[in-house]
């Protein structure tokens, strides 16, 4: 059982190690922190922390560094998060306020978060399984090319071109638009996808040439709806891993692979359990089953009204947890507010 002063010594070691990248000794703690006790007393506290496997000696140096378990205890006993400065909050607000559609908003979100923290920023798209198709538009681009625009009530917009032969007349296009809209508008993405596939399956057994105009449109629409149903991540700041490679004990390749494939990070972020503030941290060895035992992941919930999603950070275990958790929470709050404002304006 770690004493209250032991927790304060652990907090000092974590803070100093994050700031300096150097192992922390008892003399440095006495000089930098007002404990009011001797270096010998601090050494005794450090010995107890080492017995609990919360700190360890990286080599023969007298200094100690936090272990993954030590970071976990530190995070679990955070009395408060380090608040963002007024300029940081203003920068987030102005940057996100300039966004356009949902894709742009989430892209801006991860760029803002990685600029604030210097870590890899991650945001999940809201759950499109519960989204509804609110509008479908067909735009004639000429030469039989139709731009198919699909909009959901979550603000997601997709655009893709279908090639239609023979080239539809203006009257044909109006009728085609009406048929497609009647099929999917007002339905959930999942139901709409199922309806489109049902119509396509029926068309496959119909006489050749039947519904020749609508089939290519429905095929493209099916692809778009299927993409909407897939969980997706937006990320920024992967290049920061190379700059922080010395903070990792081993190779950063598993992290780069996870960023590229996304599936691992999606599963990890989904499985993380948030606290009563909507925050979660998964540290070091806690991520071994995902192949990310060298990294920490922080996350916060946003957009609970639409089923919820998460925004977070990926980086080394040696990170500024109080500041980074505060940044994640602040950005999640701004993102939620902007999505709610967008809903109310419709």
Q: Using CA atoms, how far apart are residues 127 and 229, in angstroms rounded to an integer?
A: 8
Q: Are residues 253 and 313 in the same domain?
A: yes
Q: Which two tokens stand for residue 99?
A: 């966004």
pLDDT of residue 96: 85
Q: Are residues 237 and 225 in the same domain?
A: no
Q: Are residues 115 and 165 in the same domain?
A: no
pLDDT of residue 41: 94
pLDDT of residue 208: 55
Q: Is residue 119 part of a domain?
A: yes
Residues in contact with 210: Cβ distance below 8 Å, sequence separation at least 6, in sequence order: 203
- Which H or E run includes 81? none
pLDDT of residue 158: 84
Q: Is residue 222 part of a domain?
A: yes
Cα–Cα distances (Å) from 290 to 198, 217, 248, 287, in that order, read 37, 40, 16, 5
Domain boundary among 177, 212, 229: 229
The C-alpha angle 80, 87, 103, rounded to 5 degrees, equals: 90
Q: Are residues 247 and 192 in the same domain?
A: no
pLDDT of residue 287: 95
Q: Are residues 184 and 90 in the same domain?
A: no
pLDDT of residue 201: 87
Confirm if 327 and 120 have CB atoms less than 8 A apart: no
Radius of gyration for the alpha carbons in the chain, expressed in angstroms and rounded: 26
Q: Using CA atoms, how far apart are residues 147 and 138, in angstroms rounded to an integer?
A: 6
Q: Is residue 92 part of a domain?
A: yes
Q: Are residues 71 and 102 in the same domain?
A: no
pLDDT of residue 250: 82
Structural domains of the chain, count: 3
Q: Is residue 22 part of a domain?
A: yes
Q: Is residue 41 part of a domain?
A: yes
Is the C-alpha dihedral spanning 259, 261, 262, 266 positive or negative?
negative
pLDDT of residue 42: 94
Q: Is residue 81 part of a domain?
A: no
Q: What is the mean pLDDT of each run of 10 residues along the chain (346 residues)?
A: 90 94 92 90 94 89 90 89 86 84 88 94 79 91 91 82 87 91 91 90 68 82 80 88 85 88 89 88 94 94 72 95 94 87 59
Q: Are residues 18 and 91 in the same domain?
A: no
Q: Are residues 13 and 156 in the same domain?
A: no
Strands 133-142 and 279-283: unpaired
Q: Using CA atoms, how far apart are residues 127 and 219, in angstroms rounded to an integer?
A: 23
Q: Is residue 24 part of a domain?
A: yes
Q: Are residues 8 and 34 in the same domain?
A: yes
Domain of 269, CATH number, reads 3.30.450.40
Domain of 50, CATH number, reads 1.10.10.10
Q: Is residue 18 part of a domain?
A: yes
Q: Are residues 137 and 121 in the same domain?
A: no
Q: Residue 54 is part of which domain span?
A: 4-76
Cα–Cα distances (Å) from 212 to 159, 170, 196, 205, 218, in that order, read 21, 16, 15, 13, 11
pLDDT of residue 67: 96
Q: Which two tokens stand for residue 341?
A: 């404002």
Q: Using CA atoms, how far apart are residues 196 and 211, in angstroms rounded to an integer?
A: 13
Q: Are residues 247 and 112 in the same domain?
A: yes
3 state DSSP class of 250: coil
3 state DSSP class of 148: strand
Q: Using CA atoms, how far apart are residues 130 and 132, in angstroms rounded to an integer?
A: 7
Residue with tokens 């150097």: 22
Q: Which two tokens stand for residue 23?
A: 């192992």
Q: Are residues 119 and 239 in the same domain?
A: yes
Domain boundary among 197, 229, 261: 229
Instruction: Provide the CA 292 distance to its chain's centre, in angstroms.
Output: 16
Helices (H) and strands (E) in the chain, counts: 13, 10
Q: Which two tokens stand for residue 154?
A: 């979550």
């Amino acid at each position: 059982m770690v004493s209250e002063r032991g927790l304060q010594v652990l907090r000092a070691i974590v803070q100093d190690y994050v700031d300096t990248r150097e192992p922390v000794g008892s003399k440095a703690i006495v000089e930098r922190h007002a404990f009011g006790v001797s270096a010998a007393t601090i050494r005794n506290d450090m010995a107890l922390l080492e017995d609990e496997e919360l700190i360890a000696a990286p080599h023969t140096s007298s200094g100690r560094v936090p272990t993954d378990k030590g970071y976990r205890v530190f995070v679990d006993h955070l009395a408060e998060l380090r608040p963002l400065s007024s300029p940081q909050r203003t920068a987030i607000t102005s940057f996100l306020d300039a966004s356009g559609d949902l894709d742009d908003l989430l892209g801006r979100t991860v760029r803002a978060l990685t600029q604030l923290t210097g870590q890899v920023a991650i945001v999940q798209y809201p759950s499109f399984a519960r989204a509804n198709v609110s509008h479908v538009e067909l735009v004639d681009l000429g030469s039989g090319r139709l731009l198919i625009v699909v909009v959901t009530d979550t603000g997601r917009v997709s655009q893709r071109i279908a090639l239609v032969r023979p080239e539809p007349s203006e009257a044909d296009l109006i009728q085609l638009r009406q048929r497609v809209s009647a099929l999917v508008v007002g339905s959930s993405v999942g139901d709409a996808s199922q309806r489109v596939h049902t119509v396509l399956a029926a068309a496959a057994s119909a006489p050749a040439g039947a519904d020749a105009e609508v089939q290519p449109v429905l095929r493209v629409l099916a692809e778009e709806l299927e993409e909407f149903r897939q969980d997706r991540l937006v990320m920024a700041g992967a290049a920061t891993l190379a700059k922080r490679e010395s903070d990792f004990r081993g190779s950063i390749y598993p992290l780069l692979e996870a960023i590229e494939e996304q599936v691992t990070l999606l599963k990890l972020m989904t499985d993380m359990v948030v606290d009563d503030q909507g925050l979660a941290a998964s540290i070091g060895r806690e991520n071994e089953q995902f192949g990310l035992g060298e990294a920490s992941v922080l996350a916060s919930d946003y957009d609970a009204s639409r089923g919820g999603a998460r925004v977070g950070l990926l980086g080394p275990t040696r990170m500024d947890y109080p500041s980074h958790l505060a940044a994640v929470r602040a950005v999640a709050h701004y993102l939620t507010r902007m999505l709610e404002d967008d809903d109310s304006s419709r």
